[in-house]
């Protein structure tokens, strides 16, 4: 087995392993080249635009952010097409032709960026800043961005149940009661409570901040989900899933779990279980 045995774990690893251990094996141990999908480029480019907009204190214009999305999305699609020019091998939803899917997601992503910029300007969510109390009485936007640790794409690396876990939190928001809220940005509809639970524990262990709630911003609707109550989530509960997954990987247990999700698996072309369905 490859070095995956000793690598840090992540939310995406646990979600993938629990959904289908064989997909995990093909992608992370055998390192099968995944089929490209325009939806992943759309999500990445949207996140880049939202992050830059917030890091620059919502000063950039709507058109600047749309252009940033457009440039990054196009660059990623072009790079993927260079590696896989056969569009029939690309993944799409509803069996849509890949060329059409690429074009539609380009326009959809632009629209989602516009909606996010307008929503953020209107609602003014307060992004957490480490040591923000030191800026009392001053305009924090006057500080050089390299002097600030903002709650944007916030990296963490913690140990849970003896397992090293790492990842990035899209946004960390300051609440009126002094606690903070974890937020994940979604261009699609898939969401994971476990992701928010992991973020809560990671923030509390790393920054000593209290986290009682989490939510998602949905690009599809241009607004927030209902708050998720995280107040009762414990480190032991979250750690248990990482420990179980870590032990399974080290023991070489990679159970195939065929199902509807196979239609969205980017390594299904190398999977005998999928071909047999």
- Residue 261 in contact with residue 19, Cβ under 8 Å? yes
Q: What is the model's pTM?
A: 0.91
Q: C-alpha angle with apex 68: 64 to 119, nearest 5 degrees?
A: 60
pLDDT one-digit tens code per residue, 176-213: 999 999 999 999 887 899 999 999 999 999 999 999 99
Q: What is the pLDDT at residue 38?
A: 97
Q: What is the pLDDT at residue 251?
A: 95
pLDDT one-digit tens code per residue, 132-185: 654 554 455 555 555 679 999 999 999 999 999 999 999 999 999 999 999 999
What is the C-alpha to C-alpha distance for residues 262 and 272, in angstroms, rounded to an integer? 12
What is the C-alpha to C-alpha distance for residues 31 and 246, in angstroms, rounded to an integer? 18
**Section 124-130 average pLDDT:** 95
pLDDT one-digit tens code per residue, 41-69: 999 999 999 999 999 999 999 999 999 99
Could you give phi then psi for residue 162, rounded to 5 degrees? 85, 0
DSSP 27: I
Q: Alpha-carbon torsion 246, 32, 268, 184, what sign?
A: positive
Q: What is the pLDDT at residue 137?
A: 47
Could you give phi then psi for residue 143, rounded to 5 degrees? -75, 140
**Section 223-246 average pLDDT:** 97
**Section 80-87 average pLDDT:** 97
**244 vs 132, residue with greater confidence:** 244
pLDDT one-digit tens code per residue, 3-46: 888 899 999 999 999 999 999 999 999 999 999 999 999 999 99
Q: What is the pLDDT at residue 136?
A: 54
**Kind of pairing between the strands at 211-218 and 228-229:** antiparallel
Confidence of residue 272 (pLDDT cuts 50, 70, 90): confident
Q: What is the pLDDT at residue 143?
A: 52
- Residue 155 in contact with residue 187, Cβ under 8 Å? no
- For residue 216, give both structure tokens: 């998602």
């Amino acid at each position: 087995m490859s070095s995956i045995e000793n690598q840090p774990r992540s939310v995406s690893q646990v979600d993938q392993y629990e959904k289908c251990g064989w997909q995990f094996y093909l992608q992370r141990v055998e390192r099968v080249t995944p089929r490209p999908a325009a939806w992943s480029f759309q999500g990445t480019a949207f996140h880049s635009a939202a992050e830059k907009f917030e890091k620059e204190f919502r000063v950039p214009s709507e058109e600047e952010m749309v252009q940033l999305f457009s440039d990054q999305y196009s660059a990623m699609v072009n790079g993927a097409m260079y590696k896989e020019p056969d569009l029939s091998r690309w993944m799409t939803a509803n069996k849509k032709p890949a060329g059409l899917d690429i074009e539609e997601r380009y326009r959809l992503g632009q629209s989602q960026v516009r909606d996010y910029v307008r929503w953020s300007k209107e609602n003014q969510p307060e992004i957490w800043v480490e040591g923000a109390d030191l800026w009392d009485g001053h305009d924090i936007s006057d500080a050089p961005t390299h002097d600030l640790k903002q709650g944007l794409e916030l990296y963490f690396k913690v140990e849970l149940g003896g397992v090293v876990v790492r990842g990035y939190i899209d946004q960390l928001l300051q609440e009126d009661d002094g606690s903070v809220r974890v937020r994940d940005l979604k261009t699609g509809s898939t969401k994971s409570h476990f992701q928010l639970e992991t973020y809560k524990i990671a923030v509390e262990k790393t920054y000593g901040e209290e986290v009682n709630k989490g939510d998602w911003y949905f690009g599809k609707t241009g607004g927030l989900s209902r708050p998720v109550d995280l107040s009762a989530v414990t480190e032991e509960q979250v750690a248990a899933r990482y420990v179980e997954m870590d032990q399974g990987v080290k023991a070489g247990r990679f159970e195939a779990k065929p199902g509807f999700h196979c239609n969205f698996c980017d390594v299904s072309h190398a999977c005998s279980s999928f071909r047999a369905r």
